[in-house]
Structure 1
Amino acid sequence: MSRPAGRGVWLALLLALAGCTHLTPAQRTQLHLWERVAKRVTAHYEVSAVTFLVGAQDGPGGGAVRPGGIITIRPDMLEPLPAGQSRDFLLAHELAHWVLGHAYRRPPDEAATATWEVEQQRRELDANAEAVKILAVGWHWTERRAFFHAHAYLWTYRRGVVARQIGVPAGHPPDPCVEINDLIRHYPAYRDIAENCPSWPEPRWVEHVGRRESSLSAPAIDAR
């Protein structure tokens, strides 16, 4: 990936802002865990390493991947959760964008932006599917367990949107059900532990992607 003009200044500013972020011991422990996982994943995919920056960011999303392998995370995303819950899918999803080459800038002109938004929704679905494989690689889980975690995370996200507790991040389908149902289409072997989501009318390309992916079996990941 080519380096965008002015990236050095932009990165220096981000680093300065990140340096002002105070993390609790529990948050630092979680961050160090995610850093180790990210290192394992990028080595597995043979891509460049990523750098974490913790701080406030615009929009409802908890994290984002930036050009140059910068993953920005809100501090609250590192807070401990009750037993049995985690935000590991958030990291896996952002790492998926990185290993799939999705880190780039939004086009400036209006016509290109309209095309970008349609393509970005496709990339979000692809990142969800790849995140299952990344959970298996980074956390040494079975693919079945990784799918179950991703599926549960997306349902929690959907409930938050419906309850208006959280918003839909930029680039994602406006209906979270699209993401849930697409993940199930990518991994048909695990329908016994999945629940389809009642959805608004989906874009035509989602149906096409579903038909294409249903003919393929998702390969198991050797996480050793």
Structure 2
Amino acid sequence: MDAPLWAVIPAAGRGTRFGGDIPKQYLQAAGQPLIAHALDALLAHPRVAGAMVALAPDDPLWPGWTERRGKPVSQCIGGGERADSVLAALRALPASVGDDALVLVHDAARPNLHADDLDRLIKAATAHADGAILAAPVRDTLKRADADTRIAATQPRDGLWRAMTPQAFRRGMLIAALEQAHAAGIAVTDEAMAVERLGARPRLVEGREDNLKVTTPADLALVHYLLARRDPAMAMSPKGTSFGA
């Protein structure tokens, strides 16, 4: 039998790029906060035993969940940066989660994760010592801009992928990678970047293009549409948000 694994969700950020007073993980889409969709997608997998959510201190919007889908949801205090929150959550995992245990890290504002993508990611990371991430090949033509926002060059896209989440690594390796990056003063933008600094080469697992991270109001409208298509019972627009206007 495959070993159970835990998921980590960094949710201490304010989502300043989105704007507004509500951290984006608590924005409503298809009847639930984005973080609820993210948690449910992870916990629906039979190998995922539970989730650890890293929150801002005294977060007034956290609903206080202790379980979802019949599995435990725990919480800890996160940090000022994503990497700090992930590290805090990894350290707060139950004692039964050893250093060799596989751990998933997923964005709180990435609600449209599909079960088949998650299953393929877990299988790839289980088989690959350096872990694996969901990603998508870059298909658009890339332009480099100059200081005047004019095209300076067209960049080759061969071999380029867009990193997504979840990302899956052994707990001990990821803790060491994040600690070393922090000590070196390097702000890593995803977990794979930290692991790469150790010399590891994580596997790229092609995921669906609609595994979107909400960063703008347009993204929120799109994920609401996608989630509502998956479950028409949740098609009502979220309170305070207008779609199709």
Between structures 1 and 2, the one with greater strand share: 2
**TM-score, normalised via structure 1 length:** 0.29
Higher relative contact order (CA 8 A, sep 6+): 2
Larger helix proportion, structure 1 or 2? 1
Q: TM-score, normalised by structure 2?
A: 0.28
